[in-house]
Amino acid sequence: MAIADVSQSPIADLVSLKGRCAVVTGGAQGLGKAMVRRLAEAGASVLVGDLKIEQAEKAADEFSKRFGGKVIATRLDVTDTASIRAAADLAQSELGGLDIWVNNAGLYPNILLREMTDDVWNDVMAVNLRGVFASCREAAGRMMDAGTGGVLINVVSTAGFKGVAPGMAAYVASKHGVRGLNKQLAIELAPHDIRVLGVAPTFCETEGNMAALAELPERVREEIAATTTSALGRVGVPDDIARAVLFCASDMSLFMTGSTILVDAGETA
């Protein structure tokens, strides 16, 4: 089986997600919420999965009213396979299928090596790496059964390309792991017309990371600022990342799989 050649498709069709069904993990706030917005705007039906169910429901309500499509919410814990399965089942039963799965939920505690316990390491891996793996397995399995193909989009970070500020060992290791998973799953899933792509943001102001930053000592904030520079003259906003996710989800990127796209304003240049 070969991926379609869409050379003759009008641009509007290539960007459109009309008739497609998507899940966004960690979609209640921050980058994930911006992704839900762009996917819904492009015509996809979207399931917002998050631990924060009230916020997820608010986001779903906002975007279904704004764009007129189906946007629903569910409580999802990506560290729990049963919860991932329930979300995938819900997408299939309530949205009518599963074409796009965005693994965006993530943790980013800043703890220096000597203070980083095994439990902290395991907690970060359980969300950022095992949660991505388990979600890919559950989503891809359903896409294979349906025989319709699809796309898995895993949110990485510039921390998946380089070391960053002190205190981020578990985070950096987890994000390098996701980049590796993208490459491997792309090979494994290509025969099923399932593409696997990564999007790697630089620093963007979100509810989560601004709250986390506020709790860090000034010295650590300065180290983080020094390792996340923007050559483009401003700090990233969630929509900068959401537009790249839309590109990956749409047929605009149909000939791409296995790569992780840096959306980093030149940080790693």
Task: Report the distance separating Cα 63 and Cα 65, nearest Å.
Answer: 5
Q: Among candidates 239, 238, 209, 241, which has minimal Cα distance to 225? A: 209
In single-letter form, the type of residue at position 214 comes to A
Q: Which CB, 139 or 251, lies closer to ligand NAD?
A: 139
Which span (15-23, 29-37, 64-72, 213-221) binds ligand NAD, by CB under 6 A?
29-37
Give residues 210-249 in contact with ligand NAD (rule: CB under 6 A): none
Token digits of residue 232: 């483009």
Give me the sheet containing 45-50, strands edge to edge. 71-75, 45-50, 21-25, 100-103, 150-155, 194-201, 260-263
If binding means CB under 6 A, how many residues of this protein chain bind ligand NAD?
A: 29
- Tell me the backbone φ, ψ of residue 151, rounded to 5 degrees: -140, 135
In the DSSP assignment, the letter for residue 192 is G
Give min distance, CB of 212 to ligand NAD, in A: 7
86: contact with ligand NAD by CB under 6 A: no
- 51 touching ligand NAD, by CB under 6 A: yes
Interacting stretch for ligand NAD, rule CB under 6 A, among 28-36, 94-102, 135-143, 250-258?
28-36
Of 152 and 192, which CB lies nearer to ligand NAD in the complex structure?
A: 152
Given the residues 101, 108, 171, 203, select the one marked as catalytic: 171
Q: How far is the CB of 53 from ligand NAD (least distance, A)?
A: 10
97 or 131, CB closer to ligand NAD?
A: 131
Rounded to whole angstroms, the Cα distance separating 266 from 79 reads 33
171 flagged as catalytic: yes
104 binds ligand NAD (CB under 6 A): yes
Minimum CB distance to ligand NAD smaller for 21 or for 134? 134
- Is there binding between residue 101 and ligand NAD (CB under 6 A)? no
Question: What is the C-alpha to C-alpha distance for residues 178 and 184, in angstroms, rounded to an integer?
Answer: 10
For the chain, the C-alpha Rg in angstroms (whole number) is 18
Cα separation of 143 and 100, whole Å? Answer: 9
Nearest to 152 by CA among 141, 136, 138: 136
Q: Which of the residues 163 through 202 are near ligand NAD (CB under 6 A)? A: 201
Instruction: Choose which of 21, 22, 24, 26 interacts with ligand NAD (CB under 6 A).
Output: 26
Smallest gap from residue 257 Cβ to ligand NAD (A): 20
Cα separation of 7 and 9, whole Å?
6
Binding site for ligand NAD (CB under 6 A): 25-26, 28-32, 50-52, 76-79, 104-108, 127, 155, 157, 201, 203-204, 206-209
Report the catalytic residues. 171
